[in-house]
Amino acid sequence: MRKRGYHHGNLRQALVEAALELIEAKGPTGFTLSEAAKQAGVTPAAVYRHFEGREDLIAEAARQGYEIFADVMQYAYDKGQPSALAAFEATGRAYLAFARKYPGHYIAMFESGISVNRTPALAMVSARARGVMERAAIDLAQHIPPEKRPPASMFSAHIWAMSHGVVELFARNSPGTQSPFPPEELLETGIGVYLRGLGLIKPD
């Protein structure tokens, strides 16, 4: 790990970036604030001018992660337009892509035990990310007969859970959970089976 310096005014961000590296390397409970301070090139006392404790620091890393995540999801949704099906499938794939590219943020968001309701800012941005997938589900649900249409929130929650499960079991190098198929293929085929069940994709 590299020791980073900082310029006046961005110590708070330097500490977040240090924490992200430590979270990725040691897990959310595997480092101390003193280690984060050392990584950022400052004294431990300096940390407390910006964060009350380690959980506060991890919560800020999670908040920033959700900001990126929401933008990634929105980009995927927009890229899939005007096809509701393409937009929906793209948001599912974006989940896996985000976890691969931003592992420190992902861990802070989903594996640290930090509640999304810890702060209003964290709750707001996590809701924005969920809202993109739910909006994609609402668009796609319009193509299902009303009597067979699940609530959009359930629809999006199913795909969110499937995406999360593939990431946790097969894309995070968990011991004993190696898959004979790439995570991207597992997710793609899983979403396909789900959408066929709703009649949104014609059987092969």
**pLDDT one-digit tens code per residue, 98-124:** 988 999 999 999 988 899 999 999 999
67 or 151, which is more confident: 67
pLDDT surpasses 80 at 2: no
* CB of 11 closer than 8 Å to CB of 43: no
Those residues with Cβ within 8 angstroms of residue 35's Cβ, 6 or more apart along the chain or in another chain: 22
Q: Centre a 10 Å sphere on the Cβ of residue 61 and count the other Cβ atoms it contains.
A: 25
Q: Centre a 10 Å sphere on the Cβ of residue 56 and count the other Cβ atoms it contains.
A: 16
Q: pLDDT grade, residue 203 (50/70/90)?
A: low
What are 106's two structure tokens? Answer: 């992902």
Q: pLDDT grade, residue 9 (50/70/90)?
A: low
To the question of pTM greater than 0.75 for the whole model, the response is: yes
Check: CATH 1.10.10 for 1-51? yes
- How far apart CA 45 and CA 43 sit, in angstroms, is 5
- pLDDT tens for residues 62-78? 999 999 999 999 999 99
Check: CATH 1.10.357.10 for 58-197? yes
Q: Centre a 10 Å sphere on the Cβ of residue 192 and count the other Cβ atoms it contains.
A: 14
- Give the model's pLDDT for residue 174: 57
- Give the model's pLDDT for residue 48: 84
Q: pLDDT grade, residue 204 (50/70/90)?
A: low
Mapped onto helix, strand or coil, the DSSP state of residue 143 is coil
pLDDT surpasses 70 at 195: yes
Those residues with Cβ within 8 angstroms of residue 89's Cβ, 6 or more apart along the chain or in another chain: 80, 188, 191, 195
- Give the model's pLDDT for residue 178: 67
pLDDT surpasses 80 at 7: no
pLDDT surpasses 70 at 3: no
What are 149's two structure tokens? Answer: 């249409």
Consecutive H or E run containing 5: none
Mapped onto helix, strand or coil, the DSSP state of residue 74 is helix
